[in-house]
Structure 1
Amino acid sequence: MSTAHHRRLRKPFIGAALIGVGMLVLAACSGGGGGGGGATSEPTKFEFLKNAENTTTEPILQALATGACKAENTALPLEVSSIPQADLDAKVALLASQDGLPPMFSAGGNPAEGAKLNKAGYLLDFDKALTDLGVRDKVSEGAVSTIKKLYGGSFDMLPYQYNIEGIFYNKKIFADNGWAVPATWDDLLALAAKAKAAGLTAFSASGEQGWPLTRLVSGYLFRTLGPDALREVADGKAKLTDPDYVAAAKQIADLGAKGYFGSNVASLDYDAATNEFLTGKAAMIYMGSWLLGNINSDTDAIGADNVGFFPFPAVSGGKGSIDQYPANVGLPATFGASTYSPKVADWLKCITTNYGNEALKQGQITGFVADDTSISLPAISTTIKQTIDSSKDSVLWFEALFNAKASSISSTNAALLVTGQMSPEDFMKSVQDALDAG
């Protein structure tokens, strides 16, 4: 998944069925997850197995191979191979069962499968490895927090892609109307009413995709119940049908009932919703930093200088913090524990040190620290970069910990929720039922 420009792929991919969990627990690699290596011989190439749909990581690695990491590439040549995303989970599982994982490979589509690989000892412990290499501080703590939340509590993936989410707004519309950036939910509601009264769509959103609406549900949950609100559901300690959870769905349903999403939210796809905001017809849009690809393009009618960003606002009396940004790491990559040799370690150190800057040159903001001050960025990109660099904690998104069925039902029914065709109670029950069914 691309950091700068995602479209319909905001939920975790669900790849082909794994060959069997049992294969993942056969004779875990001798290096384990401890970051200490265990390879019996030095690999002859620095192979990177990735999903074919990811077109953003390879150009940066190739640039490093001929630039900052030229010496590492000479010692251990980079070789990139690709397979379709749908086949990746099964391929990784098969290679793991044969003790044939390459030095670096893309994670499977389902975070739970990545956690199984780590538990079985196949993945490198980056906390230890990067600390040993003296470059642990070159990875954003916010990105590490997101990885740990997604992949079983360990820093066992690298954030080649990293996106934070929040509300982008039209600075000119705000300035022309004398509107201040809202800091609280009540402020946001008051602002939405003013936007509608001014003949604007308050929030552009794609009901066809659904997830842009459910992101608002989870945003409200995280601000009211705290960052573990959906982890509690995943762990069976709470249910989406509990009153506090239904209340969050009702808040977003009320936005729809008041017309703040416009009259055609159910039929808007991702591109149409984005266009509505970037042509000045909507005051705000909830989205992730992948939207920078659209904002900074020549097709942005309102211009990048007229786009601002603020976090999901605080809810009075809530347990969450406005500094906890919803975030994801796209489809990250990891290193195999059994192939972690001295030359692979050299590659890891060089990548960690230089990836953030090289990505920034190519218009991408990642979870690696980018400290080259000579790189010029549009103001909105600088805002996002500074937010990522300073972020220490993160939360996930509504469907992040859901199974495939619950994730699909959530997105499908979101438009029904905001158009009044499904009650908040029924919406949350439909998703919870799918979770209960497993």
Structure 2
Amino acid sequence: MTTATRRARRLAPAIALIGVGALALSACSGSSGGSGSESGAGDGEFTYLGQTENTTIITTLETLAGDQCKAAADAAPLKSDDISGTQWDQQLQLLASQDGLSDMQMAAGTPALMSEFIDGGKVLDLSKALDDLGVSDRLVPAAESTVKALYGDGALYALPTEFNIEGFWYNKELLEANDVEVPETWDDLVEAASTLSDAGVQPFATAGKDGWPVTRLVGDYIFRTLGPDALQKVADGDAKLTDPEYVEAADAVAELGKAGYFGDAVGSIDYNASMNLFLSGKAAFYYMGSWVLANFNDEAQNQIGADNIGFARFPEVEGGAGSIDQIPANVGIPVMLAEKNYDDESAAWLKCIAEGYGDTALNDSGVVSGFVVDNPPSDLPPTTQMVQEEIANAPSSVLWFEALFTPKATGISQNNGAGLANGSLSGEEFMKLVQAANDEG
């Protein structure tokens, strides 16, 4: 097995938790002999609290401690702790109430809880801190805008240790064989789907059973027609999903379903099955996030070849207020710093993390982060290089459909995504269900 293949197989984590569902963590257990309830700032130490299941962040920090962050580690040695189970947010809330947050920890999984921490002065304003340290340019602009949009404050309160972009992956050979151009507008996409379908090629591989890959399209369409603040307006109560201009987006996706462009029995197709459809050459387009790089770069799974896969941003909608440059994205599990604990030692750690995390995470763990990469590995697979270029060139980003919804509305949305994909649910019916759940709180 080549180095490139080994790196590719560990390249992307499972679907980013913040992007797709709740964090799965609970009871306290300390990897360094402590426990979550005792994980506040250490005297003369730089403390980190993470999830037991995620080893990439702590591994990267440990590597930095012996390299770029050696001076910081000498002054304040790294001490880590972890929590595993199903109660991450609840444990963080408890620690915050006791002023027991670590110097740095993974952020809350729920944006609303992060907003509570921000309003309560628990979380460091990283916009100011990074600027004071002269390293504010070490974050990729699209990643920075994604974090800021999550918490709606306009400032930066977490660091993007992962960065996943979303869009339409496509089979180059299938498009070329059917004289289909890479779509730049929604009308182009619909026309391409029609051409492919008439030729006997399934246009889209879609996990209708999971629902969220379908609802992602609804959100993206809204951002393209109404602009990047469209769903923030819904969260603020200034607009409703049942307003005609929002229903238009769900109707547009439902029309694809009615035409059969998502394939037969799409409601029974799950994530793995949709992946297999695309990687076996049975579908031309596949809307998904860049976490799929691990699958694309795995020769055992990818039957069409990594060189045969292209990436297209979600297309513009003609006359819309949004831009194709606003790329749908999520930041996986970002990390936050405690305001109360921030001192010169923490500042030294923050500075060296900003300067070195991007290269270290990519070279050692194959993880694409939201930090600038200065020296990427020479053996990166072509799909990974493509994503790196997209990230570097994207000036800003937008969130996903359910990012600012209540938990109940998120569930209702994703549970009914299949109805849009198979054409059994109209856009208006879908939006009424989701808006009602949001209204209930």
TM exceeding 0.5: yes
Is the aligned partner of 1:4 residue 2:12? yes
Partner of 1:276: 277
The equivalences for 1:217-256 within 5 A come to 217-256=218-257
Structure 2 CA distance for aligned equivalents of residues 290 and 85 of structure 1: 23
Structure 1 CA distance for aligned equivalents of residues 15 and 126 of structure 2: 30
Structure 2 CA distance for aligned equivalents of residues 126 and 3 of structure 1: 27
**Deviation of 1:158 (Å):** 0.4
Q: Judging changes above 3 Å, is the alpha-carbon distance between structure 1 residues 410 and 8 closer, same or farther for their aligned structure 2 residues?
A: farther
**Deviation of 1:298 (Å):** 2.4
2:349 corresponds to which of 343, 347, 350 = 347
**Deviation of 1:200 (Å):** 2.1
Structure 2 CA distance for aligned equivalents of residues 83 and 42 of structure 1: 17
The equivalences for 1:90-169 within 5 A come to 90-153=90-153, 154-169=155-170
Partner of 1:203: 204
Is the aligned partner of 1:13 residue 2:16? no
Partner deviation per Cα, 1:13-35 (whole Å, 9 max, x = no partner): 26799xxxxxxxxxxxxxxxxxx
Partner deviation per Cα, 1:336-363 (whole Å, 9 max, x = no partner): 1111121221111111101101111121
Structure 2 CA distance for aligned equivalents of residues 400 and 115 of structure 1: 13
**Deviation of 1:91 (Å):** 1.5
What secondary structure, in the 3-state scheme, does the structure 2 residue paired with 1:112 have? Answer: helix
Partner of 2:3: none
The answer for unaligned runs of 5 or more in structure 2 is: 1-9, 27-40
Conservation of the 8 A alpha-carbon contact between 2:23 and 2:88: no
Structure 2 CA distance for aligned equivalents of residues 201 and 136 of structure 1: 45
More displaced, 370-379 or 399-408? Answer: 370-379
The equivalences for 1:171-210 within 5 A come to 171-210=172-211
Q: Judging changes above 3 Å, is the alpha-carbon distance between structure 1 residues 125 and 7 closer, same or farther for their aligned structure 2 residues?
A: closer
Using the size of structure 1 for normalisation, the TM-score is 0.90
What secondary structure, in the 3-state scheme, does the structure 2 residue paired with 1:263 have? Answer: coil
**Deviation of 1:3 (Å):** 7.7
Conservation of the 8 A alpha-carbon contact between 2:164 and 2:330: yes
Is the aligned partner of 1:386 residue 2:394? no
Partner of 1:33: none
Q: Which amino acid aligns with 1:400?
A: A
* Sequence identity percentage: 48
Conservation of the 8 A alpha-carbon contact between 1:4 and 1:293: yes
1:419 corresponds to which of 414, 419, 422 = 422
Partner deviation per Cα, 1:137-178 (whole Å, 9 max, x = no partner): 001111111111111322010000111111111112223333
Partner of 1:37: none
Structure 1 CA distance for aligned equivalents of residues 42 and 259 of structure 2: 63
Is the aligned partner of 1:328 residue 2:330? yes
Structure 2 CA distance for aligned equivalents of residues 340 and 4 of structure 1: 31
Structure 2 CA distance for aligned equivalents of residues 258 and 284 of structure 1: 16
What secondary structure, in the 3-state scheme, does the structure 2 residue paired with 1:283 have? Answer: strand
What secondary structure, in the 3-state scheme, does the structure 1 residue paired with 2:405 have? Answer: coil
**Deviation of 1:42 (Å):** 7.2
Partner of 1:301: 303
**Deviation of 1:85 (Å):** 5.4
Q: Which amino acid aligns with 1:435?
A: N
Q: Give the count of matched residue pairs.
A: 415
What secondary structure, in the 3-state scheme, does the structure 1 residue paired with 2:388 have? Answer: helix
Partner of 1:356: 358
Partner deviation per Cα, 1:231-282 (whole Å, 9 max, x = no partner): 1111111111111111111111111111110002101111111111111111
Q: Which amino acid aligns with 1:233?
A: V
Structure 2 CA distance for aligned equivalents of residues 180 and 312 of structure 1: 14
Structure 1 CA distance for aligned equivalents of residues 232 and 321 of structure 2: 15
Conservation of the 8 A alpha-carbon contact between 1:7 and 1:270: no
Q: Which amino acid aligns with 2:86?
A: A
The answer for unaligned runs of 5 or more in structure 1 is: 18-40
Q: Which amino acid aligns with 1:288?
A: G
Conservation of the 8 A alpha-carbon contact between 1:144 and 1:155: yes
Q: Judging changes above 3 Å, is the alpha-carbon distance between structure 1 residues 109 and 386 closer, same or farther for their aligned structure 2 residues?
A: same
Structure 1 CA distance for aligned equivalents of residues 221 and 358 of structure 2: 31
Using the size of structure 2 for normalisation, the TM-score is 0.90
Partner of 1:264: 265
Structure 1 CA distance for aligned equivalents of residues 320 and 74 of structure 2: 54
What secondary structure, in the 3-state scheme, does the structure 2 residue paired with 1:86 have? Answer: coil
1:401 corresponds to which of 401, 404, 409 = 404
Conservation of the 8 A alpha-carbon contact between 2:12 and 2:290: yes
Conservation of the 8 A alpha-carbon contact between 1:416 and 1:422: yes
Conservation of the 8 A alpha-carbon contact between 2:45 and 2:78: yes
Q: Which amino acid aligns with 1:87?
A: Q
Partner deviation per Cα, 1:204-240 (whole Å, 9 max, x = no partner): 1101110000011111111111111111111111111
Structure 1 CA distance for aligned equivalents of residues 414 and 237 of structure 2: 21
Conservation of the 8 A alpha-carbon contact between 2:48 and 2:105: yes
Q: Which amino acid aligns with 1:13?
A: A
Conservation of the 8 A alpha-carbon contact between 1:42 and 1:343: no
Conservation of the 8 A alpha-carbon contact between 1:3 and 1:330: no
Conservation of the 8 A alpha-carbon contact between 2:178 and 2:195: no
Partner of 1:428: 431
Structure 1 CA distance for aligned equivalents of residues 305 and 79 of structure 2: 39
Q: Judging changes above 3 Å, is the alpha-carbon distance between structure 1 residues 375 and 135 closer, same or farther for their aligned structure 2 residues?
A: farther
The equivalences for 1:60-75 within 5 A come to 60-75=60-75
Structure 1 CA distance for aligned equivalents of residues 355 and 21 of structure 2: 28
Conservation of the 8 A alpha-carbon contact between 1:3 and 1:366: no
Partner of 2:316: 314
Conservation of the 8 A alpha-carbon contact between 2:206 and 2:213: yes
Partner of 1:58: 58
Conservation of the 8 A alpha-carbon contact between 2:112 and 2:151: yes
Q: Which amino acid aligns with 1:115?
A: S
Structure 2 CA distance for aligned equivalents of residues 84 and 425 of structure 1: 41
